[in-house]
Structure 1
């Protein structure tokens, strides 16, 4: 494990495998270790140099309680800091949920750093909530942590014990700060479309975000959308058996640039 960062932020990461670089960015349901528990590392390390990053607030990265620390553009800059520390000029990136959002914003801001992008359960559209709604959700996070989100996920389908443990381990104050920091996220569909970088969007067909994900697919000429049948939001990450048949040919075609 190594740490790097800018503006006093320390971001932890590790590498595995060999080949063209592929950054793996987890969602708000865990830390970099979930890519191992889910089987992604075993499936991909034989072909790619995997760079597993702990997002700010998770795993072994710093966990500030300041909401501004969780703005998506700052998280995109964290990825660039890791790439610079690893000496990687351009990379493929696979982001799950929150990680996919960060990947889309990184593509919008720094398209020269990506050869291709896979975004699971994520879209590039604008996200805006009323201040009162954001504060209510942040207060719920402070009081109950990730428990309500775990319960909601379990109502949609099976949640493995390792993922449940990873979700419940997140600092409630981090969840609250992230809720506030991520509110009012601007849309970047236009910038992603202008980047000219291949994008693969993965979505469960039962994900409530699926309509917004379809809009991103329609707005970005270089995007392909694969909808996973009978799948919820988390399944876009967990159902590796359904995702890999789409991901493997995409990476083999574009990862090396």
Structure 2
């Protein structure tokens, strides 16, 4: 299995065409991957080597392009991007594929979506890996209005906000629909309460780069979740942690332990 994009299929849910891939061993344990804001299934999971890593380990690897991203439909209406709606796409994909239960792994916005998914559908989730989002899931991850402004600015050259520049450059690199992303960023950051994360009753791994200035502490979030472990990804920021070898090794070990339980 290499790092080239796999073939994608589409299915229809909630008025939208959603693109996805279904790779690896069809008889292996399924793992559903949910990417981060302004990313895609390929950018988050294929190019950094997750599809290869998980596929080589014998998993059935499934990932979708979230609404507003990649090859999926991209509405410009902010009301359709709340996390429960985006989690609904992921559950609908499992339904579409006839999968009753899967491991679920999300990065950044995808981690938030994965947490909402698990709370609403605990019987569908065997384990949960939350990458790139720690206690920020509860406390928030800072001021994001400048990011929406940066996404809709006429060019990167006029964007001065540092985090705005980072996400605008990323959106340009991924050739994203910037107006869809601006709509998404305005409503996709709904928080979970301490009580809500405390109801996540599956094994959880929370993994955050030690130089990530967005996610918040993985330890603080893990202490709120009954069966959670925290992982520091050494020397990595929010953008670079996703493909880190330490993260991959820890994820495989975590999944193997869950599989033996």
TM-score using structure 2 length: 0.83
State the match for 1:83 in structure 2.
94
Mapped to 2, the partners of 1:229 and 1:128 lie a distance apart of 20
- Decide whether the 8 Å contact of 1:105 with 1:188 is kept in 2: no
State the match for 1:102 in structure 2.
113
CA pair 150-139 structure 1, distance change in 2 beyond 3 A:
closer
State the match for 1:69 in structure 2.
80
State the match for 1:223 in structure 2.
228
Name the stretch that deviates more: 137-146 or 190-199: 137-146
Q: How many equivalent pairs are there?
A: 244
Offset of residue 100 of structure 1: 1.1
Offset of residue 190 of structure 1: 2.5
- Decide whether the 8 Å contact of 1:198 with 1:223 is kept in 2: yes
Offset of residue 150 of structure 1: 8.1
State the match for 2:3 in structure 1.
none
Between Structure 1 and Structure 2, the one with more helix by share is 1
- Decide whether the 8 Å contact of 1:207 with 1:233 is kept in 2: yes
- Of 12, 15, 19, 1:8 maps to 15
CA pair 191-167 structure 1, distance change in 2 beyond 3 A:
farther
Offset of residue 188 of structure 1: 4.1
Aligned ranges for residues 75-154 of structure 1 at < 5 Å?
75-123=86-134, 124-127=137-140, 135-143=145-153, 149=163, 151-152=165-166
Gaps of 5+ in 2: 1-7
State the match for 2:5 in structure 1.
none
Mapped to 1, the partners of 2:121 and 2:155 lie a distance apart of 33
Mapped to 2, the partners of 1:107 and 1:256 lie a distance apart of 21
Give me the CA root mean square deviation. Answer: 2.7
- Decide whether the 8 Å contact of 2:211 with 2:236 is kept in 1: yes
- Decide whether the 8 Å contact of 1:193 with 1:221 is kept in 2: yes
**Larger RCO: Structure 1 or Structure 2 (Cα < 8 Å, ≥ 6 residues apart)?**
1
Name the stretch that deviates more: 95-104 or 74-83: 95-104
Offset of residue 29 of structure 1: 3.9
- Decide whether the 8 Å contact of 1:76 with 1:105 is kept in 2: yes
- Of 159, 169, 173, 2:175 maps to 169
TM-score using structure 1 length: 0.85
State the match for 1:40 in structure 2.
50
User: How big is each residue's C-alpha offset from its partner over 1:143-191, in whole Å with a ceiling of 9 and x where there is no partner?
Assistant: 15788658548xxxxxxxxx958744111101210121224x1314423
